[in-house]
Amino acid sequence: MFHKEGHSLIILFFIVITTDVIMLEMLIDDQSYLKLILQTFSLILFVFILWFFRNPKRNILKNPEIILSPADGKVVLIEEVDELEFFNEKKVKVSIFLSPLDIHVNRYPVSGKVLYSKYHKGKYLVAWHPKSSDKNERSTVVIENKKFGKIMYRQIAGAVARRVVNYAKVDSIVEQGDDSGFIKFGSRVDIFLSKDCKLKVNVGDKVKGGISVIA
């Protein structure tokens, strides 16, 4: 199963690579290693595109007592920061880095009402750079939840990722674990929590969106 954000790109690559393979068959001698190398590279590229946009079905158990991970990836940073875009107060930031091999579907960490959803143009620093959270292209979303209050998460484009897709609309009611967006290629997701939340992850942990408990 492939994510809808990849459908047009998958079709485009299928057409281009099929044409490439056929043209190489017609133009290059049957015994040429160059033809084999080029065709193999084309097929590997197509398999990578399919792999990147995979969207396996997950049995997500909604639980109002926990905050789920908004993305697959590796926890690379946990720190207390001054959050100045919405809260204007100190929050605990948990940063999750998504490599190009991770599933890039983003998910709502909690259920509730979307209070804030804003896209920011920006730079394309590598996603693990400390300033990428505030300087890179990004989308910021705040959800009001009955138990945890206001929870913020931020999708951040990286040096490779050049498009952030955000589905959250202000005033909409969202469900924990449902698709909240997609980031194309390597990227990062930050989630901002109250200081009194009990964290269930540590730096270096691998997490799965909609499955792993963050707090």
Domain at 97, CATH number? 2.70.70
Could you tell me if 42 and 85 lie in one domain? no
User: Are 116 and 156 found together in one domain?
Assistant: yes
Query: What domain range includes position 200?
Result: 73-207
pLDDT at 180: 95
pTM of the model: 0.84
33 and 87 housed in the same domain: no
Domain assignment of residue 215, yes or no = no
Q: Are residues 145 and 178 in the same domain?
A: yes
CB-CB contact of 77 with 71 (8 Å): no
Query: Token pair for residue 34?
Result: 């160059």
Q: Is residue 28 part of a domain?
A: yes
Tell me: do 48 and 116 sit in the same domain.
Answer: no
Which residue stretches of the chain have pLDDT < 50?
A: none
One domain, residues 47 and 143: no
In a domain? residue 38: yes
Catalytic residues: 187
Domain identity same for 47 and 93 = no
In a domain, 41, yes or no: yes
- pLDDT reported for residue 167: 95
Residue 58 within any structural domain of the chain:
no
Q: Do 199 and 119 share a domain, yes or no?
A: yes
21 and 79 both lie in a single domain:
no
Q: What's the pLDDT score for residue 37?
A: 79
Residues 87 and 176 in one domain: yes
**What integer pLDDT is reported at residue 54 of this predicted model?**
79
- Residue 185 CA to residue 164 CA, distance in Å, equals 10
Instruction: Write down the pLDDT at residue 150.
Output: 96
- Tell whether 133 and 167 lie within a shared domain: yes
Q: Give one DSSP letter per residue of the chain, joined into a string.
A: -B-GGGHHHHHHHHHHHHHHHHHHHHHS-TT-HHHHHHHHHHHHHHHHHHHHTB---------TTS-B-SSSEEEEEEEEEEETTTT-EEEEEEEEEE-TTS--EEE-SS-EEEEEEEEE--B---TTSTTHHHHBSEEEEEEEETTTEEEEEEEEE-SS---EEE---TT-EE-TTSEEEEE-SSEEEEEEE-TTS-----TT-EE-TTTSB--
Residue 63 belongs to a domain:
no
Measured distance CA(81)–CA(92) in Å, rounded: 6
In a domain, 61, yes or no: no
Q: Is 198 contained in some domain?
A: yes
Q: Are residues 90 and 46 in the same domain?
A: no
Q: How many domains does the chain have?
A: 2
